[in-house]
Structure formats: structure tokens, C-alpha cells
Chain A
Amino acid sequence: MAIEGRSSGRSLLRAWAVQQRVIWALVRREMITRYGRHNIGFLWLFVEPMIFTLGVTTLWTLTKTVHGSDLPITAFAVTGYSSVLVWRNMASRLIGSIEPNLSLMYHRNVKVIDIFLSRLVLEMSGVATSFVVLTLFFGALGWLSMPEDPLKVVEGWLMLAWFGVSLAMFLGGVSHRHELIDKFWHPCSYILFPLSGAAFLVDSLPPSMQTFVLWLPMVHGIECVRDGFFGSHFTAHYDLGYVAVVCTVLTGLALIQIRAVENDLVPQ
């Protein structure tokens, strides 16, 4: 009777057990389809974002004069780029992710939300691991000092992750019905990149710009992560309460989208 759990809704606990099993099966499957059995396999999950961060750090270290401050540049680059990866990669992974998985929906217990969550779990663990490994790696080289307040780093990162999850689920749901999302996401993510706080500190902007960029939830997240990393070097500007409100609304909208998509879904 175990496989009946979700549909009859007899017991929430059993439904959760089924869902966990399904998500884990999807994660394992996704790891094979995405990274293959060849090469260094699923290690790409860490190496891919790592190469990005390394490149950006090098570039910014070479052009250090442009920033002209006593900021720990490597810590600035690592926190900046790792934070962008959180929300950008998750959204990119979920947009258009229903279509190629339609055949799996023949199995009653496999739902759109499971497809989404499995991809998010994989993406989040990859981005988080690369962030940690890079921090330790550059720390060992002596390029950056360990975070002044690790708890604050985690707090900021989790808020960024929540924002990434809700944005990704919302766009993933909408993109199934409106293909234009896929077309618009790439230019949008490029425009958002310089605005997201990856390449600036809010404090260094003119006050009018500050109010403007602080509308963007990811700016708050990055500022918090950096406050935890090297808060004694600058004045951080963020309000996690604001981020929480935005994320709650976005999560609600995302769940409504997913419900709407599921009601009209035809397995193929």
C-alpha cells in the first residue's frame, strides 16, 4: 500500500516518505543524465562554478586599482560570484525542465514539484560546496581570511537560496505555459548580474542608487554574506525581513503556478 500514500492522502507522514524517495530517485537519475558516467562525473557540479569564480577572482585581482580600497578582494569576488550562482543557476535549471521529464509523470508519485525539488537539491548542494571549497582553498593560500561571523554568512546565503528557490520554481512553472520566459531569462539574468551586488558594495554607491538597488532581494543577501565575511572592513546595508517578505510572496505565487501546471499536465 506504500505507493498509494500520496494519492489517497491518508497520512501526511507516509506521503512525505514517498516524496522523499521519489526526490532521491530523481536526484540519482539527474546526476547520471547531467554528468554522465564518464570523465570526472558528478564532480563537475563543483568544478564548473569553481572555474567561474577562479576566473573572476583573477580578473578582479589584476584590476585591483579600479576598486581602490583596502577591501579583501578575493573574499569580495568569492562572495560575489558564489551568491550570483545561487539564484541564477537554480532559475536556469528549472526553466523548461518539465517538458523533458513528461514521460516520468506516468508514475503517479512523480509530480512537477518533485522534478523541481530534485534539481534544486542538486544545484544548491553544488553551489554551496563550491562556495565552501573555494573559501577553504583561497584561505589556505592566504588570499582571504576566514569569515568573521560564519553564522551570518550562512544566514545570508540561506536567504539567497530561498530567493533562488522561489524565483526558480515560479519561472519554472510559468515557462511551461509561456515559452517566452526561456527567451527573456537569459538577457534578464545578464542585466541583473551587475545590479545584484556581485560587483559593488551598496555603501560605495550614491544614496539615490542605494535606494534603487536595495529593491533587489539578492543585494540584501550578498551584503549579509559579506557582512559575515569581512564586516569590519565596510558598512553593510541589508534588511533580511524585506527579503523574507519578497520570498514568501514569491513562494506563494510559485506554488500557485505549479498547481495550475499540474492540473493541465499530460504525461507523454
Chain B
Amino acid sequence: MIALEDVGKSYATRYGRHLVFKDVNLQIAKGEKVGILGRNGAGKSTLVRIIGGAESPTRGKVTRNMTVSWPLAFSGAFQHSLTGYDNLRFICRVYDVDPDEKVDEVQAFSELGKFLWEPIRTYSAGMRARLGFAVSMAIEFDCFLIDEITAVGDARFRDRCHEELHVKRGDRAMIMVSHDANYVREHCHKAGVLTGGQLTMFDDVDEAYSFYMAHASE
């Protein structure tokens, strides 16, 4: 169970504090899939980082009783001057997993071959995406945070991501941020819409989507 109680977030700017959202209440039970809809800049990624604990809320309380992944967005969470292997090792150490047990698995998914031992900055966008996904699958979580997963990669990559995430790990909880209504509709049990600094939750994804469309211009 993950619970957000009256969570608010604001950032310091040159002109005072900028409120991203306030009074957010959200519960995610084991195995539950929750979608988050919202325009660019509505605060979706901020909310995901707060759920994951990478950022702390300005107000309110976050309780985590399951292990939560970092936001899987493919580009972040890596050091680009290091090799793919060094990054894998670092992340494994942080999460207390033996890196050497995971190399084969990561190689199989990322298909990087010898490039695993080259700095990440030399990788193409596709290679980075494959490595990012492979490393995040190397560590098991009860809840995965997914930020715009459908935005990168070709059809084959997306199919393989789908297999790993929604078939093999279909029993896990997931929080998905996406502009793609079909993706959210297909995978989520419920969805929330972030507009005007408020999160409105819907038990029905279609309802959430029509609310989102109606408020999209706000």
C-alpha cells in the first residue's frame, strides 16, 4: 500500500513560491494500476517523483509499505560519462542486488553486446532506452513508476517492454503517466487527472479521460 495524504508541492522561484499541486490524496493497493493524466507542466512527473521518494513533498505525508521503483523514464538516473556496466553496478549496489548475477539478463534485453562496456554518452537514443529498461527490470519492485513509457523506441522495443512489464510483472502495482489514452485505458484500473493544481480521481478510466478532455484547455 502506498498512501498520499494531503500532499502539496511548491517550488521556490524568483517571484515567490510556485504551487504545483495541493491536497493530493491517493492510495495505491498491491497490484493496482493507476494512470495519471494531465497536460504538459501539470505536475505529473513531480507527483511521480514524490510517490517514488526522489523528492519530498512540501506538505502532507507519503507512506510506502511496498518497494517502489525509481521513475522509469529511460533517460534519467544514469551517469553518462560512465559505461553501461558501471551504471548497472552502481544501481545494483544501491538496491542491494549482486550486479554480476544481472549482467546476462541485462545483455539479453538491451542487446548492447560489447557496448555495455562503453560510456553511455556514445549510445544512441534507442540503446539508452533499452539499457534503461533492462536495468530497471534487473531489480524487482512491488510497484513500478512509469513515466511516458510509450514515448521511445520502435514497435519491437515496445512489444518487449510490454512483455516484461505487463505480462511477466502483471501482478505488480504500477503508476503510469501518459498522454496516450489508449495505453492508460488498456492497463489501468483507475486514473487521476491533474488540472489546476488538483488531482481528481476516477474509478473508471473512460470517465477520467472525458474529464481530462473537458479540462484540457485550462
Contact = CB atoms under 8 A, between A and B. Distances in A.
Interface of A: 1-4, 7-8, 21-22, 24-26, 28-29, 32-33, 103-110, 262-268
Given A21-B96, A25-B94, A263 B56 contact: yes
Contacts of B63: 8
B93 interface: yes
Q: Which of B67, B71, B86, B95 is packed against the most chain A CB atoms within 10 Å?
A: B95
Given A25-B93, A25-B94, A108 B68 contact: yes
Given A4-B65, A28-B93, 5 more contacts: A7-B53, A21-B94, A26-B90, A108-B70, A265-B55
Interface residues of B, number: 33
B55 to A, nearest CB: 6
A3 B71 contact: no
Contacts of A33: 79, 81-82
Contact of B94 (A1, A4, A103, A109): A109
A107 B11 contact: no
B77 A266 contact: no
B182 interface: no
B52 interface: yes
Tell me the interface secondary structure of chain A in the complex.
Answer: helix
B131 to A, nearest CB: 14
Interface string B11-51: 11000000000000000000000000000000000100100
Contact of A106 (B12, B71, B82): B71
A263 B71 contact: no
Nearest to B62: A7
26 contacts: A3-B95, A4-B67, A8-B65, A22-B94, A24-B93, A25-B93, A25-B94, A28-B89, A32-B86, A33-B79, A33-B81, A103-B78, A104-B77, A105-B54, A106-B54, A107-B54, A107-B91, A108-B68, A108-B70, A264-B12, A266-B11, A266-B49, A266-B55, A267-B54, A267-B55, A267-B77
Nearest to B63: A8
Contacts of B78: 103
A10 B78 CA distance: 29
B76 interface: yes
B58 interface: yes
B64 interface: yes
Contact of A3 (B12, B49, B79, B96): B96
Contact of B90 (A2, A4, A28, A264): A28
B82 A108 contact: no
B55 A4 contact: no
Contacts of A24: 93
Given A3-B67, A7-B64, A110-B94, A29 B79 contact: yes
